[in-house]
Amino acid sequence: DVKVTQSSRYLVKRTGEKVFLECVQDMDHENMFWYRQDPGLGLRLIYFSYDVKMKEKGDIPEGYSVSREKKERFSLILESASTNQTSMYLCASRRPRSPYEQYFGPGTRLTVT
């Protein structure tokens, strides 16, 4: 079975802190994603990486950066956390070919106070 793990299930940080969220997948998938999920807003893509060291901005990249130095690991960085970044963060991975199903991690519930 595909496994996608995220470094923390719950995280509480203060405004202005730098926050690192890590995601690891064990299926040798080329593509990896970071989403955030908020009530009423659904899934929103923050960043996408189609391979090592490759990244593309999603719909809401402001305030975030990413790093993909190894195929299995995709990190999301909040440069200076703000209260409007309180959210559920979801990492996903997939192969870059049909049917393109995505496999998600368990999520990190981040609260910024």
Partner 1 sequence: DAKTTQPNSMESNEEEPVHLPCNHSTISGTDYIHWYRQLPSQGPEYVIHGLTSNVNNRMASLAIAEDRKSSTLILHRATLRDAAVYYCVAYSGAGSYQLTFGKGTKLSVIP
Q: Which residues contact 79 (CB under 8 A, 6 or more apart)?
A: 18, 63, 64, 65
Closer CB to partner 1, 69 or 100, in the complex? 100
Does residue number 43 form part of the binding site for partner 1 (CB under 8 A)? Answer: yes
Determine contact, residues 94/31, Cβ cutoff 8 Å. yes
- In the shown chain, the binding pattern of residues 76 to 95 toward partner 1, with x for contact by CB under 8 A and - for none, equals --------------xxx-x-
Determine contact, residues 32/25, Cβ cutoff 8 Å. yes
**Shortest Å distance, C-beta 39 to partner 1:** 11
Tell the residue number behind the tokens 């955030």, with chain if given: 36
Does residue number 60 form part of the binding site for partner 1 (CB under 8 A)? Answer: no
Q: Sign of torsion, CA 31 77 72 103?
A: negative
Does residue number 61 form part of the binding site for partner 1 (CB under 8 A)? Answer: no
**Shortest Å distance, C-beta 96 to partner 1:** 8
Tell the residue number behind the tokens 């929103």, with chain if given: 44
Interface residues with partner 1 (CB under 8 A)?
Answer: 4, 31, 33, 35, 42-43, 45, 48, 50, 58-59, 90-92, 94, 98-107, 109
